[in-house]
Amino acid sequence: MIKMENLKELSREELVKTEGGLIEFLGLCAALFAIGYEIGKDAKERSHN
């Protein structure tokens, strides 16, 4: 866990880089979840027919 003192010591550039990486990571997780959900939905519909 990052402590507040350490966070203040980080340069603005590093903070932006970390923030961007986190947003990218969350976006990737959301995309993978959406793809998995769509595949699961399709498989479910196919198994019922």
Residue-wise pLDDT tens digits, 20-40: 888 899 999 999 999 999 999
pTM to 2 decimal places: 0.55
pLDDT, position 31 = 94
Q: What is the CA radius of gyration of the chain?
A: 19
Residue 46: CB atoms within 10 Å: 8
* pLDDT for the residue 15: 72
Token pair for 6: 């350490």
- Non-local (6+) Cβ contacts of 15 within 8 A are 7
Q: What is the pLDDT of residues 1-13, one digit of tens each?
A: 557 677 677 677 7
**What pLDDT score was predicted for residue 16?**
78
